[in-house]
Chain A
Amino acid sequence: MLIFALKVLQMINSVRNTVLSVLNKNNYGYISPSDFNLFAKQAQLDIFEDYFYQYNYQINKENARQSGTGYADITKGYSEVIDSFSVTEDLTYIATNTFSVPTEATTGSDYYLINKVLFNNGTSLKEMEQVSHSKITMLLNSLYTAPSLTFPAFTIEDSTLTAYPDTINSATEVKCQYIRYPKDPKWTYLSLTGGEPAFDSTASDYQDFELPLDNEPDLIMKILQYAGMSIREIAAVNFAQATENKDDADQK
């Protein structure tokens, strides 16, 4: 999987057409729009999560001096895609030094990964350090390392972020930069034309894939696997798996 290309409009329609074309053996390979949307969501999440593993893999390759710079800088491409899901928002203040973590209701999107939390002291931004629950009590009791306004910290429990020191108490004091989940793709259609649903990208609930263009083959292969299983067409599953494995191997 490579990632340098830009996103294109309506990739979802192209992916669907290809999937249907591969599956449509003897006219029994049809999958409904709702099934396609379910498979598309799973496929996109799979590939999205894989970016982080691939990023880490490339970092390790760099450390082993097996990676290059310039056009050979694979890591840069991965980080660019991940950055395209980056959001920075103020966190909603709940009560004494507690704030809501990013959610659909508060910041507009759920978080996959909180990259950093910032404390705004009015003059500058200080990065808050995430501390595990196994350490925070000892840290608070530490003479040298107790969280301060210069070196603030936070913990997360359920959907609540607790800031330390507890004088961090204002609605605009804490903001968060996080990686959100990609939006669920939705192939929308207007009406049936000749027995086939006609693609409609103007529908209010239309949502294209958020991954770049070069993920199109990966999306097709993953959706093919789900769809192949759905219609018990093992040949489609095997074909898609083999293609995906080959792609992965080529990129190592």
Chain B
Amino acid sequence: MAYITQYKYYENEGISPKDENWGSYQYVSLADVVNNFMLMYAGNHSLVNNEERFKVLFHAKRGIQELNYDAFKEIKILQLNVDDNLRFVLPSDYVNWVRVSVYENGVLRPLTENIQTNWSSAYLQDNNNDILFDLKGNALEPENSNLDLDRIRGSKRSIYLNQNSSFNGLEGYCCDGNWYFDYSIGARFGLNTETANINPTFVINKQAGVINFSSGMSNRSCVLEYVSDGMEGGEATKINLNKMFEDYIYAYIEYAILNSKLGVQEYVVGRARKRKQALLRNAKIRLSNIHPGRLLMNMRGQNKWIK
């Protein structure tokens, strides 16, 4: 892709959207990667020869996907209100989550993942607990399982945490933001520290594509930080990668092709693998921006007491 003028960079030559090219110089496009690879790394005198371009394209995309999962550190953020069913539908380009927070009164409160499930699928059963089927032989399913219903209605007990309240640490029911408690008779043993948090907790149901929250999250603003795979909905012109990883992606494609090609000597494959790994490490170090100024800021806190 050709270099652009500063007028095009800042103003997009008067065409909307104006911010189209802001920051674009950090990136190299997928089309450039494939074109450069075919030009520079494939041909009569190269290790890679007689390979179709679509194979190069495939490996380039796979390489970019892998980089997006961790190395790029390019976090996408989506803010949505949680619906009455305490669900937050995962974004269309969601691959994995980084952090889930609730945003209230100008404060972002990170939420805790509850590793105990708070959702379940279910089948309808009769009085004898036999599963009910339809005419096609498929089990009938209710809209919500009892576990889901309890969570949505707030009839699932959890621990109330509020140091300023006499109910602090008691098990109760959170319904529409209000807490209700049983009469405390007898002792209560143990505290589930994973869920012992004043904020709601969540569990991600990957198959259903939703985040299920504990009660008290209804209609509250949720901020999801997540990673995608960089495929931009399949729009090839929008796929790109940071220039720090440009050499790596060429090395990755070369390795991926040599590694799956018949008759390539093992030492050639090994050399390509080592080069790829070394370039990945270099790029990660570069992108982490470790420099004296940043280290100095960290070192300033060395005498601080950790409470």
Residues on A facing B (Cβ under 8 Å): 59, 62-63, 127, 129, 131, 135, 139, 142-145, 148-151, 153
Contacts and interface: CB of A to CB of B under 8 A. Distances in A.
Leading 6 A-B pairs by shortest Cβ distance = A150-B236, A145-B54, A129-B53, A59-B44, A144-B61, A148-B236
Contacts of A135: 52
Contact of B62 (A131, A142, A144, A149): A144
Contacts of B94: none
Interface in B44-98: 44-45, 52-55, 57-58, 61-62
B58 A150 contact: no
Most B CB atoms within 10 A — which of A131, A135, A143, A148? A148
25 contacts: A59-B44, A59-B45, A62-B45, A63-B44, A63-B45, A127-B53, A129-B52, A129-B53, A129-B54, A131-B54, A135-B52, A142-B58, A143-B234, A144-B57, A144-B58, A144-B62, A145-B55, A145-B58, A145-B61, A149-B236, A150-B30, A150-B237, A151-B53, A151-B57, A153-B54
Contact of A151 (B34, B45, B62): B34
Interface residues of B, number: 16
B52 A151 contact: no
Contacts of A143: 234
B237 to A, nearest CB: 6
B57 A145 contact: yes
Nearest to A56: B44
Contacts of A131: 52, 54
Given A144-B62, A145-B58, A151-B54, 15 more contacts: A63-B44, A127-B53, A129-B53, A129-B54, A135-B52, A142-B54, A144-B61, A145-B55, A145-B57, A145-B61, A149-B236, A150-B30, A151-B34, A151-B53, A151-B57
Contacts of A145: 54-55, 57-58, 61
Interface of B: 30-31, 34, 44-45, 52-55, 57-58, 61-62, 234, 236-237
Most B CB atoms within 10 A — which of A62, A127, A145? A145
Contact of B44 (A62, A139, A150): A62
Nearest to A60: B44
Contacts of B62: 144
A142 B55 CA distance: 12
Contacts of A144: 57-58, 61-62
A223 to B, nearest CB: 33
A143 B237 CA distance: 15
A145 B61 CA distance: 9
